[in-house]
Structure 1
Amino acid sequence: MPTKKLYKSLLTKAVLLFFSSSYTQEKADVAPDKFYKLDSLKHSLSTATDSLEVANLSYEIYLYAKTDLFIQNPDEGKYLMRALKIYENLKEWDLAGKVYIALGGIYYNRHQPAMAMKYWNLAKEQYKKTNNIKRQAVTYNNISCIYINDSTEYGQKQMKAYIDTAIVLSKKANDPLLLASPYDNLGWWYMKKDDLDLAEKYTNLALSIGKDFNRSYSVQAATFQLGMIKSKQGYTEYAIYLIEKSLTYNALRKTDPNYLDALIELSKLYMSIGNYKKALYYQENYQKHKDTLYHTEQAKTLLELEMAYETQKKEQIILSQDNELRLISAKNIFKTKLIWATGISALLFFGSIYLYRSRQFAIKEKHIQEHFLRLLLSSHEEERKRISRELHDSVGQNLMLIKNNVALKSDNETAYMISQVLEEVRVISQALHPAVLDKLGLTTSIKKLISDADKMTDIFFTEKIDSIDNIFPKDHELQIYRIIQEAINNIIKHSQADSACIYVKNATNQVIIKVKDYGVGFDVQDLTQKNTLGVNTLKERSGLVGGKISITSVKGKGADLTLIIAKP
């Protein structure tokens, strides 16, 4: 029978329709060219005489329109209700269940959760009676979406209970493709709870299933969601890459909610990194497609209201009131424009004042912070200088007396140990405050710092240093010395390098300092995100001397620190 053949075809497409997407399982992931042409279907419907065939064709038209048009199809509800009425009259409950799921999806996408719950519950109870495990998994997953954004304790428990049941049923049905949507929803749920590790885990599971079964809509949804997770984790550039990639999949139509979500998220992300051109581009695209959807939905309502209005009002009353309405409308338009002009002018005026005061406050705050930082580092250096002096003048002198006393008694071993302690005290004193900087100048101090590092470590240090004495104030010279000292210490501690080099170039208008090692390297982005104390200290010290510091590195190829300081 043609009806049975059509019924089998319908079941195949329905399975693809309900089991291949994320969030609610009712979007199609099937290429439109695999369905009958819409005109052909409508022609078949107009000539059909068998009730079940009429219902199946009505549902087939809905599937085709859903795949090709999605939200913009104004007749989707009409064909579904026609199919549902026939299925219920014929007591074809399994077929009716598919329509319940589809109607629930329509109401859910139109933000009517109560109606969505009504139809999904009807489907759930029907598939329990027929023990249809696959369809039960779909309905439990869909119902979980009702609670996915509910932050109450009850809502959270309901969401977890429904999604867990959907996963159990999907595994029981031995159909891995069914798991894509529950895993995707779990990923979204954990992301909303800021449990980003679990969110990433389940989203990647959904992505893997989508790729394994070549379901482009599932891959698109999971890719977009993974981008949202990476955004929350602080990986803005990677988040942008993933979300832009999600826009390239063929399964995504410009009328899909996912498309709009991706556009607005990209606008926000580009705004956060200061790329206002890209941010504006995606914002304008979002607004364009959002307005298209809005007007498509509103056009039908407005047309119905206009027809009702025309049938209730007499032509003579409309004509007699036309001039009066125009006059009132003109007055209202003038008043509205005047109010808007006044409001915008006031907004611009107060906005300008606010921006000016905010800028002045930010400048003042920056100056205060810089002054406080100078005081802090200055007091820190003074304390280090005091401790260094105490070690040299007091502890060092006492140890020297003890050494001489021991030497007189011919206790060579003890004298040697005291000599070692004296050397350690000297090194500590030098590290606390470089006395050589005061005596010999910045250039010689830097060379000695490099020479000491070369002697005391296995790293081969080379240097090429121009004279930069008497260019900067004394407090600036100390900060420059400390920056180079910190960079060399980092090489010794972390680089595992065999060699390193330090360059100091006295250019016409600036001094360029470069510290380079050939060690294991590191991830600069990871270092920046962790905001380590060492990096912060380097940045603060470079800021105090009016310099700009940059750090570059490639894993396995070493690291490169560059400091550029303008001459006073």
Structure 2
Amino acid sequence: MVKKYEEINELYKSKNYTKSLENALKLFEEIENTNENKRVKFLIASVIGNIFKETNNHDKSLKFYLKSYNLYENNLINVESGLNSINDLYIEYVNLLLRLGSSYQVLKNNDSAIYYYNKIENIQSLNNRIESIKALTYSNLSGIYLRDSLYERAKIYALKAVEIRKLNKNKISEAASLSNLASISLKQNKFEEAKEIYSKALNLIENDTTSLAVKYKESLYYNLAWTLFLLKDYMAYDFQEKSYLIKDNLRDQEMRRIVEDVYANYQVELVKNQVALKKAEERKTNYYLGALMLLILVVFGVIIYNYKLRQKNLKLNFEQNELAQQSQIERLKSETQIRILNATLDGKESERKEIAETLHDSVSTLLSSASLHLQASKNKFNGSTPLEIEKSQTIITEASQKIRDLSHTLVSSVLLKFGLKYSINEMGQKYSNSQIEIETSTKNINRYHQNFEIKVNNIIQEFVNNILKHSKATYALVQVEEKNKQLFIHIEDNGCGFDKDGVVKKDGLGINQIEARIQMMKGTFQIDSIKNQGTKIRICLPIIEKEEAILL
């Protein structure tokens, strides 16, 4: 039994999940109802839970983790020959408590997660492996309390995690824990404190070029850039560019690895397919004539049967087919119009995004570099600077500003970098003036899939443009709130109102396009407008969001 377990564990470590799961379930079924091999049952149940976790089947993963936990709690620690020492088994038990807590955390059952995390916290041990598990536990507890806005408790556990990482002299893990601590300060609007902690984390791994350290640096640069942006520090963009450069490099490495894996798998599959093709050709030669004759007889019989049947029902089928075709044509026309319209909008959004990113990331960078070179040239003159250099630098500065403005007009850089919440608030501030006040309100707005954010921003932008152009309003309100995995958008103004049917027929305000867009996003759309009494617009869209990362 011990040997079988070790073989299964090796398959799991080599990421052969299908084979390891098949063998593990078979072994567990053999020994589940026996009073022997208790330690093997404990370990094999834990491995099965690990395999289900790796395949994102968290419900089944939790089921087997609980089986393993119950086996250990029921006086499992009876030394049996051929397995690891009791200390190693105890460490595996502590690891199991961490997996139980993280599984409940993934399933949003935070009370149960905290229960198992507290068990780990109460363990008294100076063992470095157990201390590392405690550090991960404290980080996860900090994440739970941070999500519940219990900032002081979150900070306590984050500091505990940092202290353990520092004692273990693991700079990468210490940097990760410091990043969590800085995020708490950021949530409390303690921007200077967050800046100091992010910088400290970066200093720890600044010269580390390992893949894990590079990955953490990318995240730390981005978070520091955001903190500096909130502090209105111009260096925010320098750190943000560092983050983007690292992200692009990581993406290139990942693509090369994927291509190499795909090519290797292609070579293996090619050999298999050639062997299978040869065997198939041999079988086809043996059965070809018989299958062909049978096919001819079947086809001939079907033709005769269908001919007689069609003669009897020709008129009825003709009428039914005509009606069905007409209905289908109408449906296809409607669907085609909607798809063409949305494809056009998607194409425009994609082109605008690509042009904006190219202008900002490439052309703007080149102009900035040219300006720096001119400045360096100016510094080399002892006396006055030639007028041509001064004019050139002025022209480059003006061109750079115009490119930034054009990039922002195509796709909001605030939207791409910091999300929907800040883009909407910026929209209200940008368009408010002495003629009209545009108030914005955002509640529980997070970062979502980028294409989803762009589409939502464009829908809101279209309605705001219509208010500015046609409503003659002096006040407008834009409210956006996330609730129950849905985004609720409410837009209203105190303007002159309009005849909805008349506008839809004219297609003058783009309402048809917006309605088609919302329909493709599986949302709902309602307009209430009365002449000289303003307009109210309600939109509900299902959210497309990123998966939350859990430390394990």
**TMscore range, shorter length:** 0.3 to 0.5
TM-score normalised to structure 1 length: 0.38
Q: TM-score, normalising length from structure 2?
A: 0.39
Rg larger for:
1
